[in-house]
Chain A
Amino acid sequence: MQLTLEFGGGLELLCESVKIHKVNVDPPNGAEKFIMKDLLSWVHTNLIKERPEMFMKGDSVRPGVLVLVNDCDWELSGQLDTTLEDKDVVVFISTLHGG
C-alpha cells in the first residue's frame, strides 16, 4: 500500500532534508495488517540516514516527537497499534522551542 510520510520540525534533517516521502510498504510476513509499529521500523531502516536516536527511543519515537495519522494525534488512534491503510498520511514532527 502507498503511504505519504512527512517529516518536520527538524526531523527532515535525518532523512537528507527531504520532507515528503511517498512510499510503498507491505505488512510483514504473515501479518494481515500494517501498523504504526511496523512503519517505525520501516522508516528506521529505509529513511533515517543519520542519528537514529534523534528519531527513535526503544520501539517508539523519542520524547518531543508528535506523530499524526491523517492529521490526528496517534495517541487518539492507538499509538503503535494504529492500523494504517492505503493512502494514509503520517506526519512526524519535532516540537519547536525557539521564538
Chain B
Amino acid sequence: METNGGGGGSAADVSRILSELETLKTAKSDIECRISALEAQLRDSTITTTKNIEDKNDTVSNGSCPLISAVHSNINHDLTPDSVYRYSRHLLLPSFGVQGQSNLLKSSILVIGAGGLGSPALLYLAACGVGRLGIVDHDVVELNNMHRQIIHTEAYIGQPKVKSAAATCRSINSTIQIVEYQEALRTSNALEILSQYDIVVDATDNAPSRYMISDCCVVLGKPLVSGAALGLEGQLTVYNYNGGPCYRCLFPTPPPTSACQRCSDSGVLGVVPGIIGCLQALEAIKIAGAVGEPLSGRMLLFDALSARIRIVKIRGRSSQCEVCGENSAFTQQQFKNFDYEKFTQAPLSTLPVKLNLLPADSRISSKEYKEKIDNGEAHVLVDVRPAHHFKIVSLPNSINIPLASLEVRLPEISEALKEEDNSGSGASLYVVCRRGNDSQRAVQCLQKMGFDSARDIIGGLESWGHDVDPNFPTY
C-alpha cells in the first residue's frame, strides 16, 4: 500500500493490480449473473400476479433490462429477453426454434427417481427450460451412489436425494419451477402427483414401480419415457404415446423375481445409466417441444461393452392388454386398489430381502463368530459369494466356494475340515456371504449332503462390518 501513489510502479505492483482487477472482474460477473437471475425470477412471479404489482415492478426493474421490450422491437413470441439469450442455441436450431422452446417452457415433466437415470435426465431437463419439473424420490444420498448419480455432491451425503437434486437443478436454472416430492411413489399418491404433469419419466429401479407407473400413465393418458440400465447394458422406449403400446402390452406377465437384478447386487458402470438418462431427457424434450419422432413402438438397446446401439421395432398397443386394451376397464379406482408388490412378487422399495430359512441353532451372529476365532476354535469358514465379490474383500482364512459350484466342490470342504481338526474332536463349519441369504441356502445344501454341523453367519459380511470390525470395507 505504501507505494500506492508512486508513478513508476514495480513489477510486484503491476502483478498486484492485475490480480486485484481479476478478482473484481470475477465478482462483477458473479453479481451480474445473480442480478439477471433475480430479474428473471421477479418477472416470472409478476406474470401471474395483479396489475397493481406489475406496475410497481416496472419501476423496480427499470434498469439495463427493460420489461416491455416489445415496444422497441418486433417480437411475436412470449420468450423474455433473458430467455432469448439463455436458450439462444436452441432458438438457432431451425427444427426446434422459438416454437420448440416456447412449448418446452410451457410444459411440465415429472421425473420419478433421482438416481443413476434421473440424475442426468434432471440436469438436462432443468437446463433446457422445462417450465415445471417435478422430482420424486424417497431415498437419501449415499457414498456408493456418487459414481453414477452425478446430480448429487458429497456435501449432500445422508440428505434426501430430492433436496439435493432440486438444489442442483435450481443452481443450473433459477428461472424454472422445481417441485420436490420427498416420498415413495405408491398407488395412494401416484394419481395425485402424476396428474399434474404432461410427461412422465420413469427413472426407477424395480419391476413393481415400472408396472405401477405405466398403469398410472395409462389411466391418466400421459406419455411415459421409460429407461433402464444394469451392468453394461441399457434399454429405452416411450410408452403410451399416441396410440403406442404400454409397458403391459410388452410384458403382460411379470418376470420371475430371480430375473430382476438390482444395481446393488449386479453392479452397474456409472456412465451406462448416464447415457440412458440423457436419452430419456432427449425423448422427453422431443415430446414436450413437439419435435421429431419419439421412440414409441421402438426400443433402443444399448450394449456398452461392444459399443452397439440397436433400435428394434416392438409390437403396437395390444387389444388384449389388461390395462390399455380395447376391452379393458382399468379405472383409477382399480389402480388405487392394485397390489403391485403382490403382482410382481417384489418390493417397491429396493431394500435387500432378509431370508430366514434356518432354525436358530444352525446360525450364529458375527459377534459369536468373532469369539470363536478369539478362542482358537478349530473351524473352516466357507465364503459362498461369487469370485469377483471375494476379490473385493474377504475374511482372513476363508475359502471361496461360490454357491453355484458348492455341490461339486464338497470334497474341498471335507479336506479342509480334516486339515483343521488338530484335536481329533472335529472342526466346525461356518458359511458366510454378503448379507446372510446365500449362506443360509448353502447351509441347507450342506446339511442335506451330510455336513450336519454347518452353520451360517447371520447378516453376513455386512453384519461383520457393522457389529465387529467397523474398518471392514462394505460395498
Contact = CB atoms under 8 A, between A and B. Distances in A.
A62 interface: yes
B260 A8 contact: no
A75 B228 contact: no
B254 A63 contact: yes
Nearest to B210: A97
Q: Main secondary structure on chain B at its contact with chain A? A: mixed
A66 interface: yes
Interface in A52-81: 53-54, 62-66, 68, 71-73, 75-76
Interface in B78-119: 113, 115-118
Interface in B269-285: 273, 276
B263 interface: yes
B301 A8 contact: yes
A38 to B, nearest CB: 22
Q: Which of A65, A71, A91, A97 has the most CB of B within 10 A?
A: A97
Given A73-B313, A76-B315, A99-B273, A63 B251 contact: yes
A14 B206 CA distance: 22
A63 B299 CA distance: 17
A27 interface: no
Interface in B248-294: 250-256, 258-263, 266, 268, 273, 276
Interface stretch (B166-174, B178-186, B229-237, B435-443): B229-237
A95 B235 CA distance: 8
Contacts of A3: none
A70 B248 CA distance: 23
B423 to A, nearest CB: 40
A98 B229 contact: yes
19 contacts: A8-B233, A19-B303, A19-B306, A63-B254, A63-B256, A64-B259, A66-B299, A66-B314, A71-B313, A73-B313, A95-B228, A95-B235, A95-B255, A97-B205, A97-B261, A98-B116, A98-B229, A98-B263, A99-B116
Interface of B: 113, 115-118, 203-207, 210, 227-231, 233-235, 250-256, 258-263, 266, 268, 273, 276, 299, 301, 303, 306, 310-315, 404
